[in-house]
């Protein structure tokens, strides 16, 4: 395919999409898929054919629309009407009322209190967002190259290959101020330039690696970007490869995300078929191909030294990198490692210009230096938030705005207690600590890292000590075990936290935790170890009274630590329906039908099954 043929293909794809009166986009992201959205898509297509509407209405199996807590989601374009929690039985109304009679179905729209929000932008969750990386989410099917082309895809690559030198591409990315989105915040353009120069000096062909395993447990945003727009990642990778002069690249991706793997594999095949990958791409003389490497399940592989070891087939243990991978990386050759989100930004920067990108967010670019952060940040909002899902906000958005306006605060009546920023190695901030801007330098000043872009909201029913223990145990399991501060420090911390949540902690334990934490932060080899004590230290700092209640009074204020709580059935509320007695695994609940039931505390194992099945909210935690 030549550059001219690519233009032709883009034009044809655009025309084909314009031929439809209505486009119905069904969200097929992981969360909506877990709620059965692919069945919806099949059924919808069937219904449209049956009613002879399939030539006017196009069904698109789209990427992640973002509002996961309200899924499955359906978006009708060009009207922009968003339907939430759509079940198969709702499709009939959507077709006959909306598509045929032009009257949108009100009962399926998002509600904020009394207010009905018909369009995406009417919903506060979307109102504050600015999609750049996720701009195709309201348009394309991630498995369709045609859709990506119709949206202007591969235009940036064509421009780079036809009109720009390698240096000009790196310069443009540098001028945009783009900094790595994997947690290190390194300016991308500079990294590329450094690698290109190192390769030139060494006379070697460099490699480019996309780290799609950058995520913490619970850090789903990169996988969701791959799922939703795999060609954007490929195009960014191709442009990066051109800028540094690479001929071979790798995408290292987690095996636990089968959908992302499948769609990326498909996108690569499509790109090869169209000569967007392979020899002499677009007949410009540039050749590049990419190989997907599937991770076998190790959190530490997000760390660049461990990632390079994993690529080489070695045990993925972190080690000191005395030499930067841009000088000596994979197979000893200069190697650029970029995060998924970083690369997905690149085509947009080249397409619309570095100045456009630099004008978004809260950053300043002058010459080769960047202060603050330009562009946007894709974040995964999860936990107890009212609205959970994938969001993209301009850099510099205040965390408070994100948590309350976009995520809607904590769901239910408990109220918000804390927010953890950056996954299980992230700082846990109290509500009073939310007045910081989401921007690399401001966050670093506050001792916070956005890391993998996770924002986890916790309500008042969450025990901070138990949560700190959860993070510690998880990191202990994932520590590669290479260096003692991380390996032994986490084990010691876990034991101490176990004592505290078990009611056997002492005040000296707090001093020990502090000491362990500072040793781990200073002496661990890699970033995982250096950050591993952050959840413990930050919860101790912000919620000292909760640690004190566990230690001094043997009490868990949030009512979560099983060794410190008792379940009781409230007399006024219990109707004697026997549901709890039936599910109790230890037969600890007794009572006649119709009468208040009683829990035998000796036999109770605090499994919570009775609370789960009680329809009258009669099981109390004390």
Of residues 350-389, those binding another protein (CB under 8 A): 380, 382-384, 388-389
Report CA torsion sign: 335, 338, 340, 346. negative
Strand partners, 295: 254
Biggest CA-to-CA distance, the chain: 85
Interface region with another protein, contact rule CB under 8 A, candidates 204-212, 277-285, 452-460, 508-516: 452-460
Q: Could you tell me the smallest distance in angstroms from the CB atom of residue 331 to another protein?
A: 9
Q: How far apart are CA 249 and CA 240, in angstroms?
A: 10
Q: How many CB atoms are closer than 10 A to CB 485?
A: 20
Q: Output 196 or 293, the one with its CB closest to another protein.
A: 293
Other C-beta atoms closer than 10 Å to the C-beta of 448 total: 21
Smallest distance, another protein to C-beta of residue 178, A = 25
Query: Minimum CB separation from another protein for residue 477, in Å?
Result: 8
| Per rule CB under 8 A, count of chain residues that contact another protein | 63
Cβ atoms of 300 and 478 closer than 8 Å? yes
- Judged by CB under 8 A, the stretch of 91-99, 296-304, 495-503, 564-572 that binds another protein is 296-304
Does the bond joining 72 to the residue before it have cis omega, within 30 degrees of 0?
yes
The span of 93-101, 266-274, 462-470, 525-533 binding another protein (CB under 8 A) equals 462-470
Q: Which of residues 587-616 bind another protein (CB under 8 A)?
A: 607-609, 612-613
CA 603, CA 490: separation in Å to the nearest integer?
33
| Residue 295 exposure: Cα atoms within 13 Å on the Cβ side | 27
Task: Considering the complex, state which of residue 384 and residue 431 has its C-beta at the smaller distance from another protein.
Answer: 384
Q: Is 30 in the site for another protein (CB under 8 A)?
A: yes
Task: Quickly list DSSP for 314-333.
Answer: S-------SS-TTTS-GGGS
End-to-end CA distance of the chain: 70
Task: Compute the least distance from the CB of residue 376 to another protein, in Å.
Answer: 20
Nearer to another protein, 90 or 256 (CB): 256
Which among 364, 351, 408, 442 has a CA at the least distance from the CA of 132?
351
Report the C-alpha dihedral over residues 576, 579, 582, 587, rounded to 10 degrees: -60
Q: What part of residues 315-354 is at the interface with another protein (CB under 8 A)?
A: 315-316
Q: Least distance from C-beta 518 to another protein, angstroms?
A: 24
Q: Is 478 in the site for another protein (CB under 8 A)?
A: yes
Q: Which of residues 219-248 bind another protein (CB under 8 A)?
A: 219-220, 223-224
Among 161, 234, 307, 311, indicate the residue that binds another protein (CB under 8 A).
311
Q: How far is the CB of 429 from another protein (least distance, A)?
A: 14
Q: Which of 345, 373, 456, 472 binds another protein (CB under 8 A)?
A: 456
Task: Provide the minimum distance between the beta carbon of 104 and another protein in the complex, in angstroms, as a whole number.
Answer: 24
Contact 290, 234 (CB under 8 A): yes
Dihedral over Cα of 409, 414, 417, 421: its sign: negative
Paired tokens of 225: 């970007």
Footprint (CB under 8 A) of another protein, residues 405-424: 420, 423-424
Binding site for another protein (CB under 8 A): 30-31, 33-35, 67-69, 71, 215-220, 223-224, 255-260, 293-299, 310-316, 380, 382-384, 388-389, 420, 423-424, 454, 456, 458, 462, 467, 470-471, 474, 478, 480, 583, 585, 607-609, 612-613
């Amino acid at each position: 395919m030549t550059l001219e043929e690519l233009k032709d293909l883009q034009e044809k794809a655009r025309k084909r999409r314009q031929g439809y009166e209505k486009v119905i986009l069904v969200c097929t992201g992981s969360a909506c898929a877990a709620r059965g959205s692919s069945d919806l898509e099949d059924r919808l297509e069937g219904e449209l054919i049956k009613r002879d509407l399939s030539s006017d209405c196009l069904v698109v199996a789209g990427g992640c629309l973002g509002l996961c807590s309200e899924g499955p989601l359906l978006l009708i374009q060009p009207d922009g009407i968003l339907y939430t929690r759509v079940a198969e039985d709702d499709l009939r109304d959507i077709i006959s009322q909306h598509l045929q009679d032009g009257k949108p179905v009100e009962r399926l729209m998002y509600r904020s209190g009394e207010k009905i929000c018909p369009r995406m932008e009417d919903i506060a969750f979307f109102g504050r967002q600015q999609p750049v990386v996720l701009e195709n989410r309201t348009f394309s099917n991630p498995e369709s190259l045609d859709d990506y082309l119709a949206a202007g895809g591969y235009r940036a690559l064509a421009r780079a290959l036809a009109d720009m030198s390698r240096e000009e591409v790196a310069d443009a990315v540098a001028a945009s101020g783009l900094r790595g989105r994997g947690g290190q915040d390194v300016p991308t353009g500079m990294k590329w330039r450094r690698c290109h120069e190192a390769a030139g000096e060494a006379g070697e062909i460099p490699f480019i690696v996309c780290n799609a395993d950058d995520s913490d447990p619970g850090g789903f945003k990169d996988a969701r970007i791959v799922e939703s727009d795999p060609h954007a990642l490929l195009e960014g990778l191709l442009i990066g490869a051109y800028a540094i002069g690479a001929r071979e690249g790798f995408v290292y991706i987690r095996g636990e995300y089968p959908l992302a793997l499948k769609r990326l594999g498909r996108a690569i095949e499509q790109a090869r078929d169209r000569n967007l990958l392979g020899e002499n791409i677009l007949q410009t003389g540039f050749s590049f191909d990419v190989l997907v490497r599937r991770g076998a399940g190790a959190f530490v592989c997000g760390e660049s030294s461990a990632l390079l070891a994993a690529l080489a087939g070695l045990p993925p243990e972190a080690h000191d990198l005395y030499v930067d991978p841009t000088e000596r990386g994979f197979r000893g050759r200069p190697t650029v490692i970029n995060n998924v989100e970083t690369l997905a930004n690149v085509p947009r920067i080249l397409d619309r210009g570095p100045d456009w990108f630099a004008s978004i967010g809260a950053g300043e670019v002058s010459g080769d230096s960047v202060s603050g952060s330009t562009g946007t940040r894709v974040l995964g909002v999860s936990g107890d938030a009212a609205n959970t899902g994938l969001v993209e906000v301009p850099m510099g958005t205040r965390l408070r705005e994100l948590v309350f306006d976009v995520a809607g605060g904590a769901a239910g009546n408990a109220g918000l207690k804390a927010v953890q920023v950056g996954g299980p190695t992230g700082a846990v901030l109290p509500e009073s600590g939310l007045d910081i801007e989401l921007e690399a330098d401001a966050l670093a000043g506050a001792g916070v890292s956005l890391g993998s872009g996770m924002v986890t909201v916790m309500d008042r029913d969450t025990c901070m000590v138990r949560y700190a223990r959860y993070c510690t145990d998880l990191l202990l399991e994932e520590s590669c075990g290479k260096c003692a501060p991380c390996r032994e420090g986490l084990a010691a911390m876990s034991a101490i936290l176990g004592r505290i949540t078990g009611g056997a902690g002492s005040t000296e334990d707090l001093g020990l935790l502090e000491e362990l934490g500072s040793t781990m932060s200073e002496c661990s080899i890699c970033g995982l170890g250096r950050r591993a004590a952050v959840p413990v230290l930050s919860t101790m700092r912000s919620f000292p009274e909760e640690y004190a209640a566990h230690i001094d009074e043997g009490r868990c204020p949030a009512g979560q630590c099983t060794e410190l709580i008792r379940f009781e059935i409230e007399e006024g509320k219990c109707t004697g329906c026997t549901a709890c007695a039936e599910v109790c695994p230890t037969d600890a609940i007794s009572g006649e039908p119709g009468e208040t039931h009683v829990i035998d505390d000796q036999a109770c194992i605090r499994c919570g099954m009775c609370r789960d099945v009680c329809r009258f909210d009669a099981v109390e935690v004390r």
